[in-house]
Amino acid sequence: MQFPKSLFIFAAMAVVFSSGCGIRSSEPADLKIVRTKFDFGFRSGEPFGIEAQAGSLYISDGAKGRLIVIPADGSSCRKPSDCSDDAVLTDKLHTPSHIAVEEDGSVLVADSGDHTIRRVSPEGKVSPVAGTPGEAGFLDGKASEAKFRAPIGIATDGGRIFVADSYNDRIRVIENGEVSTLAGSGRGYSDGSGGEARFDTPSGLATLADGRLLVADLGNRRLRTVDQNGKTITLAGTGEGFMRDGDLRNAAFSAPTDVAVGKSGEIYVADGDAVRVIGGRITPIVETITSRRRGFEDREDGLSRFNRVSGIAVGESGDLFASDSDNGLIRVFGGRLGEVESKDEFEESRRWTANDFSPSGVWPYDPPDAVREIAGTFGEIRGERDTPDSLVYFHNGLDITGGYGETARFVMDEKVLDPEAVKNVDTLRELIRLPLHAYIHVNIGRTTDGERYNDPRFIIDGEGENTSVRVPRGVVFESGEPVGTLNRMNHVHLVVGAPGREFNGLWGLVLPGVSDSIPPVLEKVELFTENWEPFETVAETDRIKVGGRIRIVAEGYDRMDGNAERRRLGLYMLGYRVFNSRGIRVAGDTRPFWTITFDELPDDRLARYIFSVGSRSGATGPTVFRYIVSNRLSRGRVTEGFINFSKLDPGDYDIQVVVADIFGNTATKRIPVRSR
């Protein structure tokens, strides 16, 4: 008989929530309050795995290969310089991911980059548990001879050690010096017993009271349970790959990377840029207790913002901790143990300067010093704003031209940290994301006809439209090594900067042969009322008759040396001044000369405040940049602005608009106006 899927879902619910734990009758109010507990600092590490035990927080640092221990209470150890010298338990790991703390204080570590499971004693001594150091593979048997492939998840029930062998897509068990496979037989999705079950990059594990395992099945976008005999059941998630709250049958996950079980049986999930919870209702449902938008913000209304939540842990007092990996923070829910971090101060502390970034000095092709054409710059509009409600977005990198099928190469040495570094496979936006760069429009690890590189760092399954590509966490690439080949977009979209903190690559990189001696083109300037209505022109004077608050729109573009005549690039800076009839800048006008600077970018939803109706850019058709110069964009922040002529005396004025490229070339236009 074929049973409805819903019966299996609710059976799974019963398995979890009847394991000897009650369910909270209501959501704790303090879950909405998020504070910052610990700040790793700018480019100073990647908090990933986190566990709380015996008054301490244990944190793995995948970037630096460290294991850090800090007090879990409200002590003053809030950044590395505040903590004692023994806060770093060890720095002898490769790319530690999730961790599990044993009763004696030893820490079990899934060392993804070394393909091993290791134990770190309370004194900091590192010893092997299972796996062959530095060798990826799959092999059960004697622990010292077994092989894993970049394991990420780990849990223990006090006797056995459970491992999410992520890129082998299996759940493994270490017991009595032997490694065996509990569930899974390869990549895919299916429930069943032992090898009948299939997983896709399982990443987080937690043990339930009855010995069952809870699995964050990252690639399948689901939560699964595995019993002691290997029987696997789906608990929650549709596999759709976006966030949707609701009952377990209909809820959807974006990127479930870790799970933890609370004191009352509730389940917490680290899901992409958000934290989710199951529990707290008569019928368990999935609820999001943070914002779903990437960023940073401590708040008290359930809308705090995170940037790649990798780890989640519940303390002995029920406190909830989260590893906010791409923000470099440990966050705590409840407000008792952390402090409110100023959003402005945090963003300022993460701001890049010329001294923070080591220029690569190469192009992402061979030969690395041959001059290439830049076909798109940072901050350009993408899409078409043909109506006020059109959805458009910012271009967050440099488009560097190449030929179809040409090999793209890494521009600096980097370690892969995101467990899902490759995205959008077999689309024109296929990409790989590393900590400081992303490479887009590339067939990752293969040629345009699908031939795979002879490089085990690229895990490629399937063919054609069913192709999947993964690059394991902990893989290291060196500058000049191949990324893949260009698809029919015929360029590499090179993103520069950490996720969520991308910046203008022409500012951060020193690319061979790049020059620009050509001034920008400022085609026209238009003035509008606050309600976007045009002004009349006074015929006898050729001046535009203005009044009240006015908006400025400038249409223009840039060119670079060596670029094709047809190539239109976005501008770097725009601004304006107002002069009276005697040529003096008007008194009281304290606005900065530059109002728009494309050094960092805001949320794409704010693109409509920078580009006016009529702007467009894409793979086909004309390129038109119409900038709202009276608004402000600086360091990724947008504010709406006007020239308020109601505060100026009636008379004649000139509005001077100035635009510039990143190399300092400028163009200006003066618009004569008459204030009513």
Let me know the angle formed at the C-alpha of 62 by 223 and 253, rounded to the nearest 5 degrees: 20
Query: How many of the other CB atoms lie within 10 Å of CB of 53?
Result: 17
Rounded CA-CA distance 138/187 in Å is 13
Using alpha carbons, select from 307, 344, 326, 362 the residue that is nearest to residue 505: 362
Q: DSSP strand E in 558-604: where?
A: 573-580, 594-597
Token representation of residue 291: 């914002």
Specify whether the CB–CB gap between 137 and 147 falls below 8 A: yes
Dig out the tokens for 41 from the structure: 């600092």
Mean pLDDT, each 10-residue run in order, the chain (676 residues): 40 48 45 95 94 96 97 87 90 98 96 98 98 98 98 95 98 98 97 98 95 97 97 98 96 98 94 93 91 96 97 93 97 91 91 71 92 95 95 96 97 96 96 97 96 97 89 97 97 95 86 94 96 86 91 97 91 96 79 89 95 92 95 94 93 95 96 92
Tens digits of per-residue pLDDT, 581-638? 999 898 666 667 899 999 999 999 999 999 999 999 987 889 999 999 999 999 899 9
Q: How many CA within 13 A on the CB side of residue 131?
A: 28
Separation between Cα atoms, residue 378 and residue 390, nearest integer Å: 20
CA distance 632 to 594: 8
Q: Are 73 and 337 in contact (CB under 8 A)?
A: yes
Sign of CA dihedral 468, 473, 474, 477: positive
The values of phi and psi at residue 428, to 5°, are -70, -15
Q: How many CB atoms lie within 10 A of CB 231?
A: 18
Cα–Cα distance measured from residue 66 to residue 351, given in angstroms and rounded to the nearest whole number: 24
CA–CA dist 606, 608 (Å, integer): 5
Q: If you search the block for the tokens 């890494």, which residue do you land on?
A: 410
What confidence tens digit (pLDDT) does each residue in 280-331 have?
677 899 999 999 999 999 999 999 999 999 999 999 888 999 999 999 999 9
**Residue 605 neighbours by CB under 8 Å, 6+ apart:** none
Calpha distance 534→536 (Å, rounded): 7
Residue 626 contacts residue 613 (beta carbons within 8 Å): yes
State the chain's maximal CA–CA distance in angstroms. 96
